[in-house]
Amino acid sequence: VSKSRGRNCYQFFSSDMQVEAQQKRRLLEELRTALEEEQFELYYQPITSLKFETEEGGVKKAEALLRWNHPQRGVVGPEEFIHVAEEAGLIRELSQWVMQQTVATVSQWYKQGLDDIQISVNTSPSQFNDGGKWIDDWIHAIALHELPAHSIMIEITENVLMTTDDSIKDQLSRLQQRGFDVAIDDFGVGYSSLSYLQQLDIDLLKIDRSFIQHLTTDNDSVALVKAIVTMAHHLGLKVVAEGVETEQQRQHVLNVACDYLQGYIFAKPVPKDEFYHRYLLGNAEIT
Ligand code: C2E
Ligand code: MG
Ligand code: MG
Ligand code: MG
């Protein structure tokens, strides 16, 4: 804050910051309550083949996405609270809740014969700071539910790779050794060098929605996405196009040979039961 702008200016900004700090404190308080009172819920969004063939036999892949059923504000998306949870050190507890919910739900589906599905789960960068305890938690949870690790895909964002100390490499290879699949989320928006992909054992790239949106208007984006897909395939990775909303975008994504799409054009994230009935039941009837 520049004092040369005058004293009033300074006070204005300063009280603004106070309000912000106060709002944050209240949000944090509410998040603690939310954990205690089970106000969180996981929604599921299908990840399908580009031609939607999966629709017929039942969806095989989906991403679990966190929602907060706020008593006054209704359904609140993660973008509004994840960063606060992360800053305040609540993310560990929240991530554990997400893990437990996911494992319980997926094992329920497995027991109903849907034993070829895979659910993706997001991680927060700070989870990687505890030397990998969170991986022990996952291993423990799937063992308890007798769930194979390949039923779970762990999504990490590019910026986790940015901080490549050795521990992160270790944690990723540990996940792989244990049989979890690993995806890089929001690929392209960070600064990760492509050489990471070669060094690390990754199964899937998820190309960020911003690139997909530009495909229809911008030739550079087409070239870029094409290059990413080619390189990924070369390294033996599959590619998901995130945030496909229109038929035109789907055509582009087909042209550049992405393997899967996730987007409103096929489905929005929906609550567990709705997901099960709408997208999985095609499978369940066979068994
Ligand atoms: P993400 O992992 O990249 O998830 C994809 C986001 O794109 C989701 O937003 C999804 O609803 C949205 N999306 C999917 N298709 C479309 C589309 O066609 N158009 C548009 N406009 N959006 C689409 P959401 O659910 O709000 O989640 C936002 C972010 O919050 C996620 O981005 C992820 O980084 C984070 N997040 C979500 N759940 C969790 C969680 O359980 N743990 C952690 N640590 N982070 C989470
Ligand atoms: Mg994700
Ligand atoms: Mg693997
Ligand atoms: Mg993403």
pLDDT tens digits along 48-79: 998 877 656 789 999 999 999 999 999 999 99
> Does ligand 1 have an atom closer than 6 angstroms to the CB of 90?
no
Contact between residue 106 and residue 46 where contact means Cβ atoms under 8 Å apart: no
Q: What is the pLDDT of residue 197?
A: 80
Q: What is the number of the ligand closest to the CA of 181?
A: 3
Confidence label for 19 from pLDDT (cuts 50, 70 and 90) = confident
pLDDT tens-place string over residues 174-194:
999 999 999 999 998 876 667
Q: Whose CA is nearest to atom 7 of ligand 1?
A: 243
Statement: residue 287 has pLDDT above 50: no
Confidence label for 10 from pLDDT (cuts 50, 70 and 90) = low
Q: What is the pLDDT of residue 189?
A: 81
Q: Residue 203 Cα, ligand 3 centroid: separation in angstroms?
A: 5
Q: What share of the chain has pLDDT > 70, as a percent?
A: 89
Q: What is the number of the ligand closest to the CA of 120?
A: 2
pLDDT tens-place string over residues 73-104:
999 999 999 999 998 889 999 999 999 999 99
> Does ligand 1 have an atom closer than 6 angstroms to the CB of 201?
no
Q: Interface pTM (ipTM) of the complex?
A: 0.98
In the chain, the amino acid numbered 67 is R
Statement: residue 2 has pLDDT above 60: no
Q: What is the number of the ligand closest to the CA of 67?
A: 1
Statement: residue 284 has pLDDT above 50: no
Q: Residue 18 Cα, ligand 4 centroid: separation in angstroms?
A: 32
Q: What is the pLDDT of residue 54?
A: 64
Residues with CB under 5 A from ligand 3 (ion): 176, 181, 203
Entry pTM: 0.92
Q: What is the mean pLDDT of the chain?
A: 89
Other residues' Cβ atoms within 10 Å of the Cβ of residue 127:
22
Q: What share of the chain has pLDDT > 90, as a percent?
A: 71
Q: What is the pLDDT of residue 1?
A: 42
Confidence label for 203 from pLDDT (cuts 50, 70 and 90) = very high
Residues with CB under 5 A from ligand 4 (ion): 185-186, 242
pLDDT tens-place string over residues 217-232:
999 889 999 999 999 9
Contact between residue 102 and residue 40 where contact means Cβ atoms under 8 Å apart: no
Backbone φ/ψ region at 99: left (φ over 0), alpha (ψ -120 to 50), beta: alpha
Q: What is the pLDDT of residue 52?
A: 76
Statement: residue 5 has pLDDT above 60: no
Q: Whose CA is nearest to atom 30 of ligand 1?
A: 78
As a whole number of angstroms, the distance between CA 117 and CA 46 comes to 11
Q: Residue 223 Cα, ligand 2 centroid: separation in angstroms?
A: 24
- Tell which wins on pLDDT, 6 or 181: 181
